[in-house]
Amino acid sequence: MAILTRPLKAQELLNAQELRVAANPVIAMGVIIALLYWARLFFITSIIAVIIAFIQEPFVGLLMRIRFPRSVASFVVCSMALMLIYLLGLGAYTQIAGLWEELPRFSQRITDVVEGTRHKIDEMEDTTYRMIVPKKQAPPAPVPPPQPVRRKRNPEPQPSAPVGIPGAIPEVRIHEDRKPITDLIYERMGSVYQILLMASFVPFLVYFMLSWRDHIHRSFLQFFEGEDRAAAARSLQGIGDMVRGFVVGNFVLGLLLAALSSVAFWLIHLPYPLLAGPVSGFLSLVPYVGLPMALIPPAVVAIGGGTPLAIFLFIIFIVAMLHLIALNLLYPKIVGSRVHLNPLVVTFALMLWGFLWDAAGLLLAIPLTAALKAVCDNVRSLRPIGKFLGD
């Protein structure tokens, strides 16, 4: 009997060991997803800094060719980038300041349009209901039999009417527990403070990544040996080329859409074309939801400015045509050739990163997935995954 139980115990141990080996990747994946969700602000800040550093690296190399030290070249490039952001912010501030002065008038017109649209929708619902549901004669409600009045021996005292108003009903006040808007602002201040705090680290991270780029590159390759070191170097080069191509391509395409939108809005005399055009142009590049998001800025400005209906429909036509031309003709040539991801993988990547990191995940989903593909293409054991992700 003992002889028969030994093979069974060995088989059970082997099955348990195989189960543990199979469960380890699942557990590791769950831990990674939980860590990405819990520390998403830290990862988003770090990834944005890495992307900016990859974009600015060619400019640093250009300054180094004319005898600039890397630290000085990194400082000059970062300073010029901050100056450019400041100038763009100053231009946007002038437009927003003018819009802020007319905000009461804009909000009143938008409220009138919304109320009018709601009233028309209610009328359409009532008309449709009367056409579909036939009128039926409601049966008369049964009259309940009169109940005998029973008098209490010790009636409860009734509240007295206010003095000077005979027969008046005492006022009953219902206390409504409404949260003041200040409490809501204080609740959101914590998250806003964290975002601003992390954003303040981005310039310093970018500068140190650029100035210490050679040291970081050499130290990172020391973790690998032989063929793995060469694969790691090729992976870093592929990620850098992909990120620069993707971000620069999107930026150039966004500038083109912003310029065309601004010119079109200016020609039809839309209020604040230099604000609505750039915002609409760059929002048009958001995957899957770019068209409705690109329609929001010009639509709000048009409704607030009292634009006629014909001009409003023409604005929708302009934004839709620019969006379709950009994504179907220009995007595959400028950006798609750098990424090489199939549409199914892009959709799943947008779902996953959007779930983990919300709006930031939608913007970073494609470069993160393309970076993963670049790594898989240069590692022999992961090349099947790279082919699955590719187009």
* pLDDT band per the 50, 70, 90 thresholds, residue 14: low
pLDDT at 83: 92
| Low-confidence winner among 30-34, 242-246, 331-335 (lowest mean pLDDT) | 331-335
pLDDT at 80: 92
State the average pLDDT for the chain.
78
pLDDT at 383: 86
pLDDT at 135: 54
User: For residue 266, is pLDDT > 80?
Assistant: yes
pLDDT tens column, 25-64: 788 888 888 888 888 889 999 999 988 888 888 899 899 9
pLDDT higher for 120 or 206?
206
pLDDT at 1: 47
Q: What are phi and psi of 173, to 5 degrees?
A: -105, 125
pLDDT at 185: 52
| Low-confidence winner among 188-202, 204-218, 250-264, 308-322 (lowest mean pLDDT) | 188-202
User: For residue 292, is pLDDT > 60?
Assistant: yes
* pLDDT band per the 50, 70, 90 thresholds, residue 179: very low
Is this prediction's pTM over 0.75?
A: no
pLDDT at 149: 52
* pLDDT band per the 50, 70, 90 thresholds, residue 188: low
pLDDT tens column, 103-156: 676 666 667 766 777 777 877 877 777 777 655 544 555 556 665 555 555 555
User: For residue 389, is pLDDT > 80?
Assistant: yes
User: For residue 174, is pLDDT > 60?
Assistant: no
User: For residue 176, is pLDDT > 70?
Assistant: no
pLDDT at 76: 92
User: For residue 182, is pLDDT > 80?
Assistant: no
| Low-confidence winner among 88-97, 193-202, 206-215 (lowest mean pLDDT) | 88-97
pLDDT at 217: 85
User: For residue 89, is pLDDT > 50?
Assistant: yes
